[in-house]
Structure 1
Amino acid sequence: MTDADDLAEQVLAGDLRLYELEDHADHDTAAAARRKLLESETDATLDTVGQYAFPAEDAETAIENMVGTIQVPLGVAGPVAVSGGSADGEYYLPLATTEGALLASVNRGCSVIDSAGGADARVTKQGMTRAPVFRVQGITEAEEVVNWVRDNRDALAETAESTTNHGELLDVTTYVVGDSVFLRFVYDTKDAMGMNMATIATREAASLVEEETPASLVALSGNLCSDKKPAAINAVEGRGRSVTADVKIPREVVEERLHTTPEAIEEANTRKNLVGSAKAGALGFNAHAANVVAAAFLATGQDAAQVVEGSNAITTVEAREDELYASVSIASLEVGTVGGGTKLPTQAEALDVLGLRGGGDPAGSNADALAEIITVGALAGELSLLAALASRHLSSAHEELGR
């Protein structure tokens, strides 16, 4: 077995490429060789990067050319009571972040929600999408494709579902722009986030469309999906899981714990999150929901780039006679508890904190529960920040925590 120094020298000499090292040594040695190479070629010292708590082989499906790990501080907020369609109980929410004061803020919101009896949460819609784009000669052929898709949903479903033991085709929507035809496939991917599942299934379905119609596939993703980009279609139609969490907080709790009034929080939400966001042309009408989504994604092994869609959230607040009503609705929260980064040992431990590692019974229930808990966490963050703004305590809180 070749050692790290020898491997690094072979790469420098051009005899090996970075991605070939695992063919000549175990994964940890390969990672060490890359660190030595980088240290020799740059001014970096990678001692800390090279200290990680699991075998490098465990990360094989998550990354290529592994050098080591970046350690993001992991904290926990809660406990908070969640009454959901799948989540039911008191939960601690693991959050990984480098933003000081975020955990303290979310923790305060969780405490207030818990003292009000907890939050309700429901997944209202579920479906991972993939939307290939096809070329046709013109609108006559486009109409032929649209009609064929409408009349052959069962054949498309059978073909797509032949690639997976768990995925289910829920819908196919057609869009025509000149000589381009887009088909937006929607799948139930159970406990998996399901992007790879949807892509592989759609590839087979697209082949059937090419065989049976004049359409010619141009790209398996035509950006009407839409993945990892701000898109109104995701804000309206949803992608992954559409989730709402809400809570009713007694007036006295608002005044004692948040040091403001329901009316002040409602006004701050209306003028900031609704009017301000509308003036900015934003897709998200919230204070900082993406903060909690991002931190939860990093902690539990989700695809971090999909925080883009996770920021598609609307926060509503209403001051009622004896209480404050608050809700967060996230239109496109793309999460899973199996596959991808959820298999990494540290992220799997975070899922264990929630009791949601692996597949649920029934299938899909673990991912639904994770979505509900994250949305309650986002609600906690919204309440805490809006209260800090309404009471004018935001800057002083950061000063006290030294952030």
Structure 2
Amino acid sequence: MTGKSLTGLPFDGFDYDSILGQCCEMPVGYVQIPVGIAGPLLLDGKSTRCQWRLRRVVWLQALTEDARLFTCLVVLSVFMKDAMTRAPVVKFPSVRRAARAMFYLQNPSNFERLSDFQQVKSSRFAWLQSITCSISGRNIYPRFACGTGDAMGMNMVSKGVQNVLEFIKTKFPDMVVIGISGL
């Protein structure tokens, strides 16, 4: 399609079944990359799923420099939040209408319904965690925060937010989506 050759890019001898449908879109080959070990790292972290604790982590790092440079790293970390966000921009014919839509999005009694549109129609792996909104004139900027498990989840969250916006448009047909990701 591009007119460029993939000559020299190895294709045979790789277990494509291990990645198809999981972590690689449109594989066309593979490359060999030197991998070194950094660590073990001393990681001091806290998450919502565990208490403060020390644990040793071995960090594999693809690199071409001397891995010995990384053997004395000590990393202190704090788990702040685990979410992928999308912040669309939507516009209304009036400030009053924008405010009504913002109140609808932030109303806790609507959250479960909106969550169903985000999750069920787009991905079984992403789930809606929160919706916060800002308003500026006739525009509102809802920020959808979603959990995505082990995936980065940008695409599934974008699809889910699009589903929510389509549902919101049935409640507010005068809403115009300016962009799926604004702020």
Indicate the TM-score class for this superposition, using the shorter chain for normalisation: 0.7 to 0.9
- Check if 1:169 corresponds to 2:128: yes
Name structure 1 gaps, 5 residues minimum.
1-17, 20-33, 40-45, 114-118, 225-403
- 1:210 Cα deviation (Å)? 0.7
Higher helix share: 1
The residue correspondences of 1:11-90 to structure 2 (distance < 5 A) are 18=1, 38=5, 46-47=7-8, 49-50=9-10, 53-56=13-16, 60-61=20-21, 62-64=24-26, 66=28, 68-85=29-46, 89-90=55-56
Give the distance between the partners of 1:173 and 1:120, measured in 2 at CA. 30
Check whether the contact 1:76–1:92 (CA below 8 A) recurs between aligned residues: yes
Question: What is the letter of the counterpart of residue 144 of structure 1?
Answer: R
Give the distance between the partners of 2:68 and 2:155, measured in 1 at CA. 36
The residue correspondences of 1:131-210 to structure 2 (distance < 5 A) are 131-151=87-107, 152-163=110-121, 164-210=123-169
Give the distance between the partners of 1:65 and 1:79, measured in 2 at CA. 32
TM-score by length of 1: 0.37
Give the distance between the partners of 1:50 and 1:188, measured in 2 at CA. 36
- Are residues 95 and 207 of structure 1, via their aligned partners in 2, closer, same or farther at CA, if it must alter by over 3 Å? same
- 1:79 Cα deviation (Å)? 1.7
Question: What is the letter of the counterpart of residue 175 of structure 2?
Answer: A
Check whether the contact 1:182–1:222 (CA below 8 A) recurs between aligned residues: no
The residue correspondences of 1:2-401 to structure 2 (distance < 5 A) are 18=1, 38=5, 46-47=7-8, 49-50=9-10, 53-56=13-16, 60-61=20-21, 62-64=24-26, 66=28, 68-85=29-46, 89-98=55-64, 100-101=65-66, 103-109=67-73, 113=74, 121-151=77-107, 152-163=110-121, 164-213=123-172, 214-219=174-179, 221-224=180-183
User: What does the per-residue CA deviation read over 1:267-318, in whole Å, with 9 as the maximum and x for residues that have no partner?
Assistant: xxxxxxxxxxxxxxxxxxxxxxxxxxxxxxxxxxxxxxxxxxxxxxxxxxxx
- Residue 145 of structure 2 aligns to a residue whose secondary structure is strand
Across the aligned residues of Structure 1 and Structure 2, the Cα RMSD in angstroms comes to 3.1
Give the distance between the partners of 1:177 and 1:70, measured in 2 at CA. 48
Check whether the contact 2:10–2:31 (CA below 8 A) recurs between aligned residues: no
Q: Which has the larger radius of gyration?
A: 1
User: What does the per-residue CA deviation read over 1:80-118, in whole Å, with 9 as the maximum and x for residues that have no partner?
Assistant: 3334446864322111134x35x3332232xxx4xxxxx
User: What does the per-residue CA deviation read over 1:235-269, in whole Å, with 9 as the maximum and x for residues that have no partner?
Assistant: xxxxxxxxxxxxxxxxxxxxxxxxxxxxxxxxxxx
- Residue 78 of structure 2 aligns to a residue whose secondary structure is strand
Check whether the contact 1:210–1:217 (CA below 8 A) recurs between aligned residues: no
Identity of aligned residues (%): 20
TM-score by length of 2: 0.74
- 1:162 Cα deviation (Å)? 2.3
User: What does the per-residue CA deviation read over 1:53-78, in whole Å, with 9 as the maximum and x for residues that have no partner?
Assistant: 51456555524372x33333211111
Give the distance between the partners of 2:104 and 2:55, measured in 1 at CA. 48
- Are residues 57 and 125 of structure 1, via their aligned partners in 2, closer, same or farther at CA, if it must alter by over 3 Å? closer
Give the distance between the partners of 1:135 and 1:207, measured in 2 at CA. 14
Give the distance between the partners of 2:149 and 2:30, measured in 1 at CA. 30
Aligned residues: 172
